[in-house]
Structure 1
Amino acid sequence: MPTTNILYITTIIIIIILFTTTPTTSKSTIEPCSTTDSCTALLSYTLYTDLKVSELASLFQIDPFNLLSANSIDISSPDVVSHILPSQLFLNIPITCSCVDGIRKSVSTHYKTRPSDTLSNIADAVYGGLVSADQIKEANEIDDPTVLDVGMSLVVPLPCACFNGTDNNMPAVYLSYVVKDVDTLAGIAARYKTTVTDLMGVNALGNAAVEDGDILAVPLSACASNFPRYASDYGLSVPNGGYAITAGHCVECSCTPGSRLYCQPASLSVSCSSMQCKGTNLMLGNVTVQQSSAGCNVTSCGYGGFVNGSIITTLSSSLQPRCPGPQQVPPVIAPPTMVTPDMGLAPAPSPFQLGGAPIGGLPGSVVPSTSSSIAFPPAANGPSGSISGACTLVNPISSFSLVMVLVLFLGLVFPFL
């Protein structure tokens, strides 16, 4: 066979290989379910642009005060709902995790399309890889994903897990974490104070290898409530060191040292029902101590749930060996105005970062800036798991560039053969 024919055939084969879409699979943990029970779960999310607190809350259709409380941000700051959060800020997003079509997911989020939106941009940039373009396409029964009408309201199915609100028989809230290219399972475990073994068990992983774009269910130690089932905030569980706002913005509950749920009046100027324990002068969250020869008599006014618009208070008394000190609640931070490595709101570090390397010095530790098609904020109205795979495609521009180089090279070589 002539040399020119061999080179021609070789060129065609290389072009076919380069243009063939080579799938890379991103894994996510799926929790099967068969009940209508729901739970509060968290999503890891990095802001793709500067957004007001209200805009970010609208993007996920959640209460802005729940968003702030989930990240221990001071809700009493002036005009906090209009505060602008900086791009690349890493936050926990609280969502309601339901049972839909036999698996756990959140389907309460809707996105209103803008000019130049594509399903890929909505999935990868606006929602930070928490969902895939194919999942949005399927959830909305879209026949032609290349044609999106401006103003369409798209259901955005988001990953979540409940696992009965426990991890190793201890209270837990589950975070859906999108793996970054600098992450390792050991780094994620260290960041969230769990173990590699636990993460592998929860996510049904055969080994400790994780890839960029994988979505892991991460158990966070929590304080669980024991409110009655008829309470509107039944099943309230707060991650260790965090806050939750409840009872119509009137009560804030935190997970204190010792994994004890502590609730007190929230620092918001709203109309609230009585928070006084009947027959006493104690208000919600108050504790009195009285030393005696037998020990310390401790009386406290606790929170018993939100029922028919009323705040239920419970009075409890106990004799303890020694008197407790002042109640220690988790610290809150001012609404962030810039992203710094020491804020504690950054993606999970790898072991290299934990060893002392500056977080900002590693490439790929934050979501890259987005394209012009989504440069504006979205509209304001806007256990043992199983692993599923969602395919993504290689960058066709890179393949095209390689092909052009090859064609130019062969164009120069052929005349000499």
Structure 2
Amino acid sequence: MPNRKPSLFSFFKALFFMVLANVALVTSKSTIEPCSNSDSCNALLGYTLYTDLKVAEVASLFQVDPIAILTANAIDISYPDVENHILPSQLFLKIPILCSCVDGIRKSVSTKYKTRPQDTLASIADSIYAGLVSADQIREANSIADPSILDVGENLVVPLPCTCFNNTDNGLPAIYLSYVVKPVDTLAGIAARYSTTITDLMNVNAMGSSSITAGDILAVPLSACASNFPRYASDHGLIVPNGSYAITASHCVQCSCGPGNRNLYCMPASLAVSCSSMQCKSSNLMLGNATVQQSSAGCNVTSCSYGGYSNGTILTWLSSSLQPRCPGPQQFPPLVAPPTYVTRDSLFAPAPAPQSDGATTTVPRTSTVPSTGLLPGLPPAGAPIGSFSDASSLLNSVATLPIALMIYLLINLISPLSL
């Protein structure tokens, strides 16, 4: 049988298959982090406002406490009516969330979004949630058959990425920020901005090279101060990023992580009202207070420290120690005023709260996001197991490739009829 030269039709078949495969490799965003327990951890989302929004409106998008957003960004909460302060478009915020382990995999938490007439899955993913999720992930999470048709007023589940890695980085306390890479970003620039190294970022994200692409999601470790509260405390596991603070104990206690520090310092919060006693037993010291006494042997320090919040009670403990020298003044994160509102034209109106019953925002609950399966793999030496961005997109696209293969085979069956 004589050899036949490849026809133009065959060339287009191969080209079509390659295009389909390439599209399948770049559509998904996800987090892959195997875990062995069901505990939650504190995590952060890097979010850029798509329009001018009130603090409370940003909180409703992610179903979190508005005060938690302000404290995570070292914004002073003592300003009048601060929850209704308008934040300017394109402002970058760190959004605190809870990240949980489900079925042995660290999966994203979910929030809900109420659709409006002009919404599309792409605009919700890329604009309103600033690239923290893809349109395909929203479609899968909500079992949407036709993404071109969205019912107005529908509550969509929006999966959001998160990472824990046991809240440690190189054996030290850390909290992980899910950061969406911008076109102007470089890995060196991101490392410098968040006081880490290129090597650490590559290890954490299981990257084979230092190249990054706009839209990639990187897990960025932020050094932090970790608490040692007992397990029965409602704020057990509290960890605060360096240079910020947190409000706990029903808004009664403020815990700060000063710049360049890893020691959590807690004191009565500025919003403290109707709080239980904050005085240490057998002492005149109040929470956060300390006495120092210089001696020939060193400095005797007695302090009243916070021990967690349990059953409506603020736990305190009194400690005494002999230190080589007396401690200096406590270093606090420098608080900033709420950003000034700037009038500008916006493409979208402020997003409505996902709940229309007037309920207050709550911490997001754990939600399982449909996954496409995992492939076994090994991270770089010394790195936590897990990856984002290109690597995770490749794993998620495995489920999409058979579709392209079926189309290719179908063309093969049809091609003899066309020749």
User: Which interval holds the TM-score relative to the shorter structure?
Assistant: 0.7 to 0.9
TM-superposed deviation, 1:240: 1.1
* Residues 157, 108 of structure 1: alpha-carbon distance in 2 compared, 3 angstrom cutoff: closer
Question: CA-to-partner distance for each residue in 1:322-374, whole Å, 9 max, x for gaps?
Answer: 111221111100001158xxxxxxxxxxxxxxxxxxxxxxxxxxxxx97x4xx
TM-superposed deviation, 1:245: 1.2
Q: Distance in 2 between matches of 1:268 and 1:107?
A: 29
1:384 aligns with 2:385: yes
- Provide the aligned length of Structure 1 versus Structure 2: 347
* Residues 88, 53 of structure 1: alpha-carbon distance in 2 compared, 3 angstrom cutoff: same
Tell me which amino acid in the other structure corresponds to 2:205.
Answer: N
The answer on whether the counterparts of 2:99 and 2:107 sit within 8 Å (CA) in structure 1 is yes
Q: Quick one: which of 154, 157, 172 aligns to 2:156?
A: 154
Q: Distance in 1 between matches of 2:281 and 2:85?
A: 39
Tell me which amino acid in the other structure corresponds to 2:386.
Answer: G
The answer on whether the counterparts of 1:224 and 1:261 sit within 8 Å (CA) in structure 2 is yes
Tell me which amino acid in the other structure corresponds to 1:380.
Answer: A
Aligned ranges 1:360-371 → 2 under 5 Å? none
TM-superposed deviation, 1:270: 2.7
- SS for the counterpart of 1:58 is helix
Q: Distance in 2 between matches of 1:211 and 1:125?
A: 18
Tell me which amino acid in the other structure corresponds to 2:291.
Answer: T
Task: Quote the residue 2:314 is aligned against.
Answer: 311
- SS for the counterpart of 1:149 is coil
Tell me which amino acid in the other structure corresponds to 2:252.
Answer: C
Q: Quick one: which of 255, 260, 283 aligns to 2:286?
A: 283
The answer on whether the counterparts of 1:29 and 1:216 sit within 8 Å (CA) in structure 2 is no
- SS for the counterpart of 1:42 is strand
Q: Quick one: which of 70, 74, 77 aligns to 2:76?
A: 74
Q: TM-score, normalised by structure 1?
A: 0.79
Q: Distance in 2 between matches of 1:57 and 1:105?
A: 21
RMSD of Structure 2 on Structure 1 (CA): 2.3
TM-superposed deviation, 1:112: 0.8
Q: Distance in 1 between matches of 2:29 and 2:137?
A: 13
TM-superposed deviation, 1:143: 1.6
Aligned ranges 1:235-384 → 2 under 5 Å? 235-256=237-258, 257-337=260-340, 372=347, 375-382=348-355, 383-384=384-385
Q: Quick one: which of 115, 125, 147 aligns to 2:127?
A: 125
Task: Quote the residue 1:345 is aligned against.
Answer: none
TM-superposed deviation, 1:258: 3.2
Tell me which amino acid in the other structure corresponds to 1:56.
Answer: V
The answer on whether the counterparts of 2:30 and 2:392 sit within 8 Å (CA) in structure 1 is yes
The answer on whether the counterparts of 1:104 and 1:159 sit within 8 Å (CA) in structure 2 is no
Q: Quick one: which of 45, 52, 63 aligns to 1:43?
A: 45
Q: Distance in 2 between matches of 1:264 and 1:162?
A: 27
* Residues 45, 122 of structure 1: alpha-carbon distance in 2 compared, 3 angstrom cutoff: same
Aligned ranges 1:143-182 → 2 under 5 Å? 143-182=145-184
TM-superposed deviation, 1:101: 4.4
Task: Quote the residue 2:102 is aligned against.
Answer: 100
The answer on whether the counterparts of 1:114 and 1:151 sit within 8 Å (CA) in structure 2 is yes
Tell me which amino acid in the other structure corresponds to 1:378.
Answer: A
Q: Distance in 2 between matches of 1:151 and 1:306?
A: 39
Q: Distance in 2 between matches of 1:112 and 1:223?
A: 36
Q: Distance in 1 between matches of 2:149 and 2:89?
A: 29
Q: Distance in 2 between matches of 1:295 and 1:262?
A: 23
Question: CA-to-partner distance for each residue in 1:4-45, whole Å, 9 max, x for gaps?
Answer: xxxxx99xx8xx98xx77637276542122421110100101
The answer on whether the counterparts of 2:109 and 2:162 sit within 8 Å (CA) in structure 1 is no
- SS for the counterpart of 1:279 is coil
TM-superposed deviation, 1:210: 0.5
Tell me which amino acid in the other structure corresponds to 1:379.
Answer: P
Tell me which amino acid in the other structure corresponds to 2:330.
Answer: Q
* Residues 140, 27 of structure 1: alpha-carbon distance in 2 compared, 3 angstrom cutoff: closer
Task: Quote the residue 1:31 is aligned against.
Answer: 33
- SS for the counterpart of 2:264 is strand
Task: Quote the residue 1:134 is aligned against.
Answer: 136
Q: Distance in 2 between matches of 1:327 and 1:245?
A: 18
The answer on whether the counterparts of 2:51 and 2:89 sit within 8 Å (CA) in structure 1 is yes
Q: Distance in 2 between matches of 1:269 and 1:317?
A: 27
Question: CA-to-partner distance for each residue in 1:369-400, whole Å, 9 max, x for gaps?
Answer: 97x4xx111112441313311799xxxxxxxx
Q: Distance in 2 between matches of 1:331 and 1:258?
A: 13
Q: Distance in 1 between matches of 2:155 and 2:52?
A: 22
Q: Distance in 2 between matches of 1:245 and 1:132?
A: 32
Question: CA-to-partner distance for each residue in 1:271-330, whole Å, 9 max, x for gaps?
Answer: 211111112111111111111222111111111001111110111111112111221111
The answer on whether the counterparts of 1:69 and 1:75 sit within 8 Å (CA) in structure 2 is yes
Q: Distance in 1 between matches of 2:96 and 2:107?
A: 13
Q: Distance in 2 between matches of 1:281 and 1:33?
A: 45
